[in-house]
């Protein structure tokens, strides 16, 4: 997905716009004190904006100045044909202190344990100012990164976050970013699906992703997907394409996931995830009847990682492969129906329930085993850098 979400181009990365120094020489050669000021413009939610009053021009005017282009310079190492490479993506301002959200894959190279940060990152604002940025931290499991710029001399337009519960299929949305390096580009569409699973940079999935038919192309990565009121619903991250361009199937990391990542990156510079160590399959009524699972929904455990938290806690995986309808299953494992007090209807619910748990926590896990309910006590671990 990385190749689809980022483009490499020959870009001039000279810093333009306001100097961030304190003093400059005046016309007579005497040092002149230059006072750098920061202007923060608060974006208010459109008061009566609804789906019926979706106004792309008004959204763009209100939100566009808070969207930025992110340039990254990577050191490819001595074995690469070229010593360095450049990438371009998008991002958006979230605070008056100069914080900017983008995708982790925009400012990193590689995957899993081989992930490396860009050597240099620059942010270009809508008014033409282009300044260096520092990577505060990245969350490869959610494909989110937090940047910070020195705010002196800049006009900052922080965007406001919405909430994942407000994401509805059919609702109009707008995507703003820098497709193919073309800054401040607007595309519009609708939310065409919710609760999708997309790949992260670690091999684990990002649950709850938003699907949209708003055109998302290379370079849009890291930009905001906003609603009629200009609130961020997600961070545009991936496209599904056979030709490399936007074909009506784009995906955004959901805003609740982004909030969690940003909060942890501010505090610690990293994000920890609880780890159970299972592979699961969704349960549906026909599958449940065929294999006598005892429940018509849940996360059916197919395999358990040897020596992992689930294995140590007594969770059982399947041991006999059988085919049903269009899939093959490992039969005989437990079905997880509740984790730490939260209902689990499918594997996505299981992933989201684990986000509310910290590594090292001992939690109750309710399973259906041989048609009967039982509760296991499992101490969760910390998610590894990549899947095995």
Q: Which residues are catalytic?
A: 105, 143, 221
Calpha distance 19→12 (Å, rounded): 17
Q: Where are the alpha helices (DSSP H) in the chain?
A: 2-5, 56-63, 104-107, 255-268, 285-291, 309-312, 347-354
Q: Could you give the CA distance from residue 135 to residue 49 in angstroms, rounded to a whole number?
A: 35
Q: Do residues 183 and 175 make contact, with C-beta atoms less than 8 angstroms apart?
A: no
The Cα–Cα gap between 161 and 66 comes to: 13
Element (H, E) at 198: strand 185-199
Burial class (CB in 10 A: 0-12, 13-18, 19+), 22: exposed
Contact 377, 313 (CB under 8 A): yes
Token pair for 380: 């969760």
Backbone torsion region of residue 168, taken as left when φ is above 0, otherwise alpha when ψ lies between -120 and 50, otherwise beta: beta
CA distance 222 to 93: 11
């Amino acid at each position: 997905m990385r190749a689809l979400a980022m483009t490499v181009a020959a870009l001039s990365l000279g810093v333009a716009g306001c100097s961030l120094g304190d003093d400059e020489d005046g016309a007579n050669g005497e040092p002149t004190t230059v006072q750098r000021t920061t202007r923060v413009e608060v974006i208010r939610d459109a008061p009566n904006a609804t789906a019926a009053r979706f106004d792309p021009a008004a959204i763009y005017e209100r939100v566009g100045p808070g969207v930025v282009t992110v340039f990254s310079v990577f050191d490819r190492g001595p074995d690469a044909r070229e010593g360095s490479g450049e990438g371009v993506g998008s991002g958006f301002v979230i605070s008056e202190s100069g914080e900017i959200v983008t995708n982790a894959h925009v400012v990193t190279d590689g995957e899993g344990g081989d992930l490396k940060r860009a050597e240099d990152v620059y942010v270009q604002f809508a008014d033409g100012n282009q300044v260096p940025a520092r990577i505060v931290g990245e969350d490869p499991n959610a494909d989110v990164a937090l940047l910070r710029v020195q705010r002196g001399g800049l006009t900052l337009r922080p965007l406001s976050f919405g909430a994942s519960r407000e994401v509805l299929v059919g609702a109009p949305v707008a995507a703003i970013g820098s497709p193919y390096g073309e800054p401040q580009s607007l595309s519009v569409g609708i939310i065409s699906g919710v609760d999708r699973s997309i790949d992260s940079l670690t091999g684990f999935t990002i649950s709850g992703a938003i699907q949209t038919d708003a055109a998302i192309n290379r370079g849009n990565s890291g930009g905001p997907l906003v609603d009629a009121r200009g609130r961020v619903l997600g961070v545009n991250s991936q496209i599904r394409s056979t030709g490399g361009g936007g074909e009506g199937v784009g995906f955004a990391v959901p805003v609740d996931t982004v909030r969690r990542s940003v909060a942890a990156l501010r505090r610690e510079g990293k994000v920890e995830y609880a780890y159970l160590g299972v592979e699961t399959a969704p349960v549906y009524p026909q599958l449940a009847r065929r294999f006598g699972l005892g429940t018509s929904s849940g996360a059916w455990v197919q395999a358990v990682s040897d020596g992992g938290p689930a294995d140590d806690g007594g969770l059982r995986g399947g041991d006999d492969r059988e085919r049903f309808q269009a899939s093959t299953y490992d039969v005989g494992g437990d079905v997880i129906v509740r984790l730490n007090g939260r209902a689990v209807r499918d594997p996505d619910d299981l992933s989201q329930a684990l986000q509310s748990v910290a590594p090292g926590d001992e939690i109750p896990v309710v399973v259906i085993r041989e048609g009967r309910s039982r509760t296991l006590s499992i101490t969760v671990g910390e998610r590894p850098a990549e899947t095995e």
